[in-house]
A and B are shown apart, each in its own frame.
Chain A
Amino acid sequence: MAMLKVKAKNPSRTLRELFAGWLSEGRLSAMLVPVMAKSGAATLALVSDPAKMAEAAPLLPAMAVNAASVVHDIARQKGEAGRVGLLLRPCEMRAVVELIKLRQVDADGVVLVGIDCPGTYKAAGFREVRTKGEEFDNEHAGGQRDYYDSPNLRTACQVCDSSAPSAFDVAVGFLGLDPDKELWLEAGTDKGRVLLEGFDLTGEAPAARAKYLEALKERRLKKAAGTIEKLDKVMRGPEKLVGYFADCLNCHNCMRVCPVCYCHECFFNSSTFQRGLDEHVRTAKRKGLTRMPSETLLFHLTRMNHMMASCVACGICEDSCPAGVGLLPLFKKVSRNVQAEFGYVSGRSLEEPLPLVAFREDEFQAVGESE
């Protein structure tokens, strides 16, 4: 562990210089980082020229796509040119870890650089919030409490309880510290130590950060409990479930943006679900009416069934829903319960086997006559 001195009270620039160094010294062939597009949208760029690292916004508190989706698209196989660095928020990193375990990302080809994230803003209207440009990012990182509990944060972020990177090669921390002065660096693996060569990594982890994270987690958990409680009130019985998804347009956006939904082609886009008119009429005849588009509930339940063990609760599905279906609370609740059943936490570690491929004899033994 080492502390990185921040130059000119500008942590954002300090990090850019660190990353540019990795590129110019050839430790990385390129690096995926957040940038602000000219349009003002938060997006990502794969930077190979150290000079172009100037466009990166490492502390940008906005997430329009989960970077893991991009990583899935580009890093399925190891490249020839050398390793690519990935600057990832905790939820993005967890998704990448899941994708590595699902063999959709070649771990050898990438270096996972995780960074603290106290929450991101809704992409729509972010430009209006970020009037001060980069100064806003630095300020946000500075840990003003009203930033982190702001109702302007994405719903998922408001109830997120894991604000620090988990299974990283390199971690960059600022929560609980004074990012105007110093940032915290840690190497989690040999791959990470290569990037941090030159730093004295023998230092202790700062207690202030741990304490801060603990308090933040507590606040967020409380809020999450409230959200789920609200959900439980409306979600009682199958009819309510149908109602919950009633607005769904069957656009499948949630599936397309989901970082851990990794099929080449969704089963729900296959011929199995192309039914002839006669079949639809037969269905309609049973009740006199059949809702169109059909199979929306089946789609969501199947997706839920497939993804719950790996869901990282990033909430990008909810952000992308044009009909405003409140996907996050439901997915958060179900994924949390499912993972708890298996003693698994998605993205926590690369070593933990996926629940579906791990056999445990003592799993789900509640059988027999109930008294």
Chain B
Amino acid sequence: MAESKLSGAALVIGGGIGGVQSALDLADAGYKVYLVERQPGIGGVMAMLDKTFPTNDCSMCILSPKLVVAARHRNIELLTLTEVLGIEGEAGDFTVRLLRRARYVNLDKCTGCGDCLAKCPVKLPNDFEGGLSERRAIYRLYAQAVPNAPMIDAKHCLKLVRDKCGACAKNCKAGAIEYGQQDEEVSVRVGAVVVAAGSQVAPTALRREYGHGRYPNVVTSLEFERILSASGPFSGHVQRPSDGRKPERIAWLQCVGSRDESVEKGYCSAMCCMYAVKEAVIAREHMGSVEPTVFYMDMRSYGKDFDRYVERAEKQYGVRLVRARVPEVREDQRTRDLVVRYASDAGAGAERFDMVVLSCGLVPPAEMVELGRRLDIKLDRFGFVAGDNWDPVASSRPGISVAGSFQSPMAIPETVTGASGAAAAVESVLAEVRGKDAVAEELPPERDVRGEAPRIGAFICHCGVNIGGVVDVPAVVEHVKTLPFVVYADENLYSCSGDTQERLKELIREHRLNRVMIASCSPRTHEPLFQATLAEAGLNPHLFAMANIRDQCSWVHMKEPEQATAKARELVSAAIARVVRQSPLPKVKLPVKKAALVLGGGIAGLTSALAIADEGFDVCLLEREAELGGQALSIFTTAEGDDVRARLKATIERTKQHSRIAVHTNVALDGIDGFVGNYRTTFHVRGADKPMEYEHGVVVVATGAEYRQPTEYQYGASDCVITQRQLEEMVEAYRRNPKTERPGSVVMIQCVGSREPKRPWCSRICCAEAVKNAIALKELNPETEVHVLYRDIRTYGLREEHYRRARGLGVVFIRYTPEEKPEVRVEDGRPIVTVRDPILGRRIRFRPDILALSSGIVPRAGAKELAMMLKVPLNADGFFLEAHMKLRPVDFATEGVYMAGLAHFPKFIDEAVAQARAAAGRAATVLSRDTLEAEATVAHVDRERCTACRMCETLCAYRAIEVKVVNETFGTRSAVVNEALCKGCGACAANCRCSAIDIRGFTNENICRELTALLD
């Protein structure tokens, strides 16, 4: 076969969570990736957040591991301080011109020790902290920035501007400061591009009347995130910028730079309601005395578990939610308090607050518009890419995909989903060149150290002056020499620098070291590096231990150098006690069946099957019904005007004809056995008696959900009371046959059976569906009266445009509360609806020709059985539960199983398509491999000790441990670990009272020895 001309590399623009996810998916699936970021470090906006909703996870804690993995990935080349100048060529063969701006710090030499930072005499406001703290002219974007090397702000550096100072270079023992660096232009050749460039927080200048920039105690939501953050300007203490006083009354003002056509920001930013409520909750968690108030228009908590979160915020945390518009904020100049004037249903009011937080929306910044021009992709009037519903990750230019809030306003889970979907899109372009440009790991054969007495090499790191400036490093070296089995000990200036790593390899050979202990910084950042060096020297990487004598010693005991030295000695003794007993751990390799099983033949299933097949893998698609198409079969158009039937038909045809896809309909599943890479599924086609079997490496669950049949509001009592879905059918009939008789008036009721105690979730799509049908009715006949009775209108994101349009066309929206629902009775076969109008303050009555009920979406009845078969969880409402709400929205905790579409939660077609493509992107990270390498540090069971109490089984999030009969003769049972699934998290081992479970590399015995060395 001739070598393909396509490039096996991809370019990812944007180093936020979206870009990082795309880069990781692509690199894990066998592509070389250039990850381009304008800033000096990756992480994007998510790195600035304190917590994330609805789980209140620490943002940095969940993000940082991904950043570290991306930076270390051998197939990801990180290009920070870089921007795209232009792109030529076509899908499969692009040449991208990049501008790499000078960092003035050599990334290869810099060890990230930070010695340079404090010596810089220039003080500037720190933009990352919203200007609430200072930074120097040489600075790190944020403390955990990846890469960790600082950069020099050329505009303010005394050396670069006036050729004076040079303090940072003098203090850099690694010699990494290079004032002579220049910006340079480079070109890379790639086959496809993912644009995940993100967006910006709406400038507060859009609402000058709120006083941001003039009143110190008015902050943006992002600034407030920094105020909440433990690594932020106030170390996580909530205080007022003006005087440092603890605020009690804090107000959040919603929709700043959103839903505001007067400033040409007519869209909803889709996330602000939730983050405002979250900030209110977290502020309250920090200080019980805080009284948070959120002024909002509609509470748009449309996501999974969002309504629950808001309810808890109100009831448990006392967050006050006020539906009101705020025309103005004034400052009391004496106290710096703020007076918020507002207009609510109850009339106008004014309240005094200690602080005001502006919930700023997202806007595509001017640079993004310029980027769009450079990439030659179309943007909408706001500056978003806003793709096609059926291919939301595609841009107008083939080979360039988009993800994240550059596409349209969206929160983290949708961004991550889109990112994996964009990766799948790249892979469909570059399927034939998978692996072409990727680098495989090559290591020397491992030395067999079994039977050798331990020979430990111990290294104590100065980390510039980070450690050496406090701890007496030579004294620690002398101490370590006295410990058993230590045959070589020395100090390093920087253990992590390239030359030290080379020397370490030589020393391992020269002294026949079979164990290494390094006392330096955090294993989180440096253990993988040191372990890789061991592997390169032919030692098993687990014959290693690290002592952190920086973060937990020299940094925290800066003022007590003697005690710090004593502590360093103890920490080193403990690490030596541990490494003595470390044994080489084998890597387990398991073969992968390069095929996928897709369950469900609706839009999500079809899209997933096609995307996986286009990536070059075999797919078996199973549908329980006789016909493919799922819920989309009863949809005619989208709000954006797509002909759903035609597009669905085309998708079905393409699926049926795809050479890599086998489709079975009318299927009943009999069983799914196995684990990632090695599944075996049995099923039969109803009516046929022959059972069928399929072997596959991954599973995509796209089994959908159901429309709920309403039981409320006289449904069934009159032909004039119908569902929103039936109304759509009628609208379609009017469209096709203009002569049919049309209703003169239509009333719609929203949230029928949704957001109720029994079904507490928002069905997410009903508001936009109602708006879509209302617009259609008005367009067909402007005389038709349409009234929509709603609780909150949740046309989030760009869908807000339709809501505005509907109002423009004369559709009337009337809000009702759950306490005072509309009442419906039927008289002479016609419904009579009464509802209290909150603006008029009195009850009004309608006699519509049609009453349409938006009755929501409910989980599929069979979800539970499928969940049991796959051993995956459902949430409390009965929807499939993802591994992590924010960062793993497509994965189950069980590896190799993914989800897409309504099975996960109600969603629009474009969202289902994005998630389906994302499932394909995630699936490729498994299917692209010939073998899966299981973690070496997995759980191991001592069957003699195991009492088969099965606690480990219940606790394992990965379903990797199971109690089985291990001796048929005696019926002996014991826990057995599936090493392919085990992540080595240790939950089982920690809980096993009988200490029958050990985590390899972290055995109970080893930990006890380590502790003994530390405590005795």
Contact = CB atoms under 8 A, between A and B. Distances in A.
Contacts of B285: 367-368
Contact of B1004 (A267, A275, A367): A267
B286 interface: yes
Interface stretch (B253-261, B403-411, B595-603, B947-955): B947-955
Contacts of B994: 262-265, 267
B503 interface: no
Contact of A270 (B286, B948, B954, B995): B995
A267 B286 contact: no
A262 B947 contact: yes
A265 B1016 CA distance: 26
Given A265-B994, A279-B1012, A371-B289, A357 B951 contact: yes
B951 A271 contact: no
Nearest to B951: A357
A267 B994 CA distance: 6
A272 interface: yes
B949 A272 contact: no
B945 A263 contact: yes
A103 B1004 contact: no
Given A272-B1005, A356-B991, A264 B947 contact: yes
B951 A354 contact: yes
Contacts of B991: 356
Interface in B952-986: 954-955, 963, 971
A275 B951 CA distance: 30
Contacts of A128: none
A356 B949 contact: no
Interface string A76-103: 0100000000000000000000000011
A263 B993 contact: yes
Interface in B247-295: 285-289
A371 B287 contact: yes
A367 B846 CA distance: 52
Nearest to A310: B993
A52 interface: no
Interface in A328-371: 354, 356-357, 367-369, 371
B317 to A, nearest CB: 11
A77 B948 CA distance: 12
A279 B950 CA distance: 36
Interface in A253-296: 262-265, 267, 270-273, 275, 278-279, 282-283, 286, 290
A103 B974 CA distance: 12
Nearest to A362: B316
B684 interface: no
Interface in B929-945: 944-945
B973 to A, nearest CB: 9
B995 A267 contact: yes
B844 interface: no
A306 interface: yes
Contacts of B287: 368-369, 371
A69 to B, nearest CB: 14
**Residue among B237, B949, B955, B991 with the most chain A CB within 10 A?**
B949
**Residue among A272, A283, A306 with the most chain B CB within 10 A?**
A272
B143 interface: no
Contacts of A283: 1012, 1016
Contacts of A263: 945, 947, 993-995
A104 interface: yes
Nearest to A99: B949
A291 to B, nearest CB: 12
A222 to B, nearest CB: 34
Given A271-B1005, A371-B288, A103 B945 contact: no
B1008 interface: yes
A290 B1016 CA distance: 9
Contacts of B237: 369
A264 B945 contact: yes
A282 B1016 contact: yes
B955 A275 contact: no
Contacts of A371: 287-289
Given A272-B1004, A367-B285, A368-B286, A103 B950 contact: yes
A360 to B, nearest CB: 13
A264 B1012 contact: no
A354 B954 CA distance: 11
A264 B944 contact: yes
B945 to A, nearest CB: 6
A261 B520 CA distance: 42
Contacts of B947: 102-104, 262-264
A367 B230 CA distance: 14
A264 B993 CA distance: 11
A208 B1004 CA distance: 54
**Residue among B946, B1004, B1008 with the most chain A CB within 10 A?**
B1008
Nearest to B946: A264
Contact of B949 (A103, A270, A368): A103
Nearest to A303: B993
Contacts of B1009: 272
Contacts of A104: 947, 949
A262 B991 CA distance: 14
A76 to B, nearest CB: 9
Interface string B978-1016: 000000000000010111000000001100110010001
7 contacts: A104-B949, A262-B993, A263-B945, A264-B994, A273-B1008, A369-B287, A371-B288
The 9 nearest A-B residue pairs measured at CB: A263-B994, A283-B1016, A357-B954, A267-B995, A306-B993, A272-B1005, A368-B285, A102-B949, A272-B1008
Interface of A: 77, 102-104, 262-265, 267, 270-273, 275, 278-279, 282-283, 286, 290, 306, 354, 356-357, 367-369, 371
Given A262-B993, A265-B944, A371-B289, 18 more contacts: A102-B947, A103-B949, A104-B947, A262-B947, A263-B993, A263-B994, A264-B946, A265-B945, A271-B1005, A272-B1008, A278-B484, A282-B1016, A283-B1012, A306-B993, A357-B955, A367-B285, A368-B286, A369-B237
